[in-house]
């Protein structure tokens, strides 16, 4: 198992290298001058060249890449052109906020998704199944920024139960785990949870239906297990796949939904990306994408290793 995990970790190294190359290339593939947003349009050629040299943009690409990679390895992923603060500072704040949002959304989505999925799988082709399936189709297909706005209209504007946008009275700098702040998290989290809920419900329904149709369930019944006992077996059979799907969904949500974070003005990575794009803050964009991509790689690794640990049929060579 440890051998497998080590092998799997080593295998991700080339992927990570690839990710860094793509992130580096982004800046140079993007149309326009990397300094376009910093310099006034009428800046003289000599100032331009000075700035290019300052940021190192005048060196050959491979040299730039290696210098950049070296800095990245030391934890320095650049400075935001807009704010002048280190990109890592900007990102870590945003990641924290997105993490809260994504974790809560995944919890809600996973709980409801597995619940709907199990119920639908157990009562296949009854009205219960059809209702649960309809809900999950709704979850997958509804545009979530639209759902977000509907929720804001209903629960914030009309009922006034929850705040419409933002991250609390003191903004994102001043987060506390109390109701005053937590209620800002609810609407975006619920909106976001609809996506994993639908996908997990559909996956679990198909899984449970498939597992229940297998002969070993008859075998379990034949040896005298109660339906509750059999349920335990169904859960253990479904767990590796269900958890893998959940992990991947968490990964997507960690990327931060640009749309949802924008609708709710939630200061996470999605909003950060949004700002970086619209303000042409290339170091920030590059750094954010790099961090998010690495997150994905590591998460995939974790999901993979976990699935292998949970499923004895996958060879642990």
Verify binding: residue 1, other proteins, rule CB under 8 A.
Answer: no
Distance of closest approach, residue 236 Cβ to other proteins, in angstroms: 5
Length of the chain: 317
Residue 312 in tokens: 């004895």
Choose between 259 and 310: whose C-beta lies nearer to other proteins: 310
3-state helix, strand, coil in the chain (%, to 5): 75, 0, 25
Which of residues 67 and 130 has its CB atom nearest to other proteins in the complex? 130
Residues whose CB is less than 8 angstroms from the CB of residue 93 and which lie 6 or more positions away in sequence, other chains included? 172, 267
**Window contacting other proteins (CB under 8 A); options: 52-60, 140-148, 170-178, 216-224:** 216-224
Least Å from the CB of residue 128 to other proteins: 14
Among positions 142, 225, 294, 302, the unique one binding other proteins when judged by CB under 8 A: 225
Q: Hey, what are 85's tokens?
A: 């603060």
213 binds other proteins (CB under 8 A): no
Chain-centroid distance of CA 55 in Å reads: 31
The binding track of 172-211 with respect to other proteins, each residue x by CB under 8 A or -, is ----------------------------------------
Kindly state whether residue 306 participates in binding other proteins, applying the rule CB under 8 A: no
The span from the CA of 303 to the CA of 234, in Å, is 20
Q: Per rule CB under 8 A, is residue 222 in the interface with other proteins?
A: yes
305 binds other proteins (CB under 8 A): no
What DSSP letter does each residue of 189-228 carry, written as one string?
HHHHHHHHHHHHHHHHHHHHHHHHTSHHHHHHHHTT--HH
Q: Taking a C-beta distance cutoff of 8 angstroms, is the pair 135, 201 a contact?
A: yes
Tell whether residue 312 is a contact of other proteins (CB under 8 A).
Answer: yes
**HSE value, Cβ hemisphere, 13 Å, CA-based, for 165:** 14
Q: What is the dihedral of CA 72, 306, 112, 194, to 10 degrees?
A: 30
Structure tokens at 257: 């939904």
At closest approach, how far in Å is the CB of 206 from other proteins?
A: 17
* Residues near other proteins (CB under 8 A), total: 21
Q: Which is nearer to other proteins, 89 or 214 (CB)?
A: 214
Closer to other proteins by Cβ: residue 99 or 225? 225
215 touching other proteins, by CB under 8 A = yes
Selected binder of other proteins within 9, 92, 218, 316 (CB under 8 A): 218
Residue 205 tokens, joined: 């329904």
- 165 contacts: CB under 8 Å, gap ≥ 6: 152, 263, 264, 265, 266
Q: HSE on the CB side for 103, CA within 13 Å?
A: 6
- Window 229-258: residues binding other proteins (CB under 8 A): 229, 233, 236-237, 240
Query: Counting contacts by CB under 8 A, is residue 171 touching other proteins?
Result: no
Task: Tell me if 76 contacts other proteins by CB under 8 A.
Answer: no
Residue 224 touches other proteins, criterion: CB under 8 A: yes
Is residue 62 involved in binding other proteins (CB under 8 A)?
Answer: no
Determine if 223 is a binding residue for other proteins (CB under 8 A): yes
| Site residues, other proteins (CB under 8 A) | 214-216, 218-226, 229, 233, 236-237, 240, 310-313
């Amino acid at each position: 198992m440890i051998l497998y995990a080590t092998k799997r970790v080593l295998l991700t190294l080339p992927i990570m290298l690839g990710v860094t190359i793509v992130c580096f290339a982004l800046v140079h593939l993007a149309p326009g001058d990397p300094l376009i947003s910093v310099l006034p349009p009428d800046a003289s050629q000599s100032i331009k060249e000075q700035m290019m040299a300052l940021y190192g943009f005048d060196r050959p690409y491979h040299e730039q890449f290696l210098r950049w990679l070296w800095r990245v390895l030391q934890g320095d992923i650049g400075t935001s052109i807009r704010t002048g603060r280190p990109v890592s500072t900007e990102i870590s704040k945003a990641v924290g906020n997105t993490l809260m949002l994504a974790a809560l959304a995944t919890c809600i989505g996973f709980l409801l998704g597995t619940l709907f999925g199990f119920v639908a799988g157990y009562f296949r082709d009854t009205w219960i199944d059809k209702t649960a399936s309809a809900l999950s189709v709704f979850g997958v297909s509804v545009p979530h920024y639209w759902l977000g706005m509907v929720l804001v209209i209903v629960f914030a504007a009309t009922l006034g139960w929850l705040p419409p946008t933002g991250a609390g009275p003191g903004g994102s700098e001043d987060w506390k785990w109390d109701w005053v702040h937590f209620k800002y998290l609810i609407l975006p989290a619920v909106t976001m949870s609809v996506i994993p809920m639908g996908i997990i419900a559909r996956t679990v329904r198909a899984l449970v239906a498939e597992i229940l149709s297998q002969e070993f369930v008859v075998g379990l019944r034949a040896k005298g297990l109660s339906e509750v006992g059999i349920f335990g077996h169904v859960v253990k059979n479904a767990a590796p796949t269900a958890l893998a799907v959940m992990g991947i969904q968490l990964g997507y949500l960690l990327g931060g939904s640009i749309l949802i974070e924008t609708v709710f003005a939630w200061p996470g990575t999605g909003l950060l990306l949004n700002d970086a794009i619209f303000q042409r803050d290339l170091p920030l964009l590059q750094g954010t994408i790099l961090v998010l991509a690495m997150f994905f790689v590591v998460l995939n690794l974790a999901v993979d290793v976990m699935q292998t640990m949970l499923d004895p049929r996958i060879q642990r060579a």
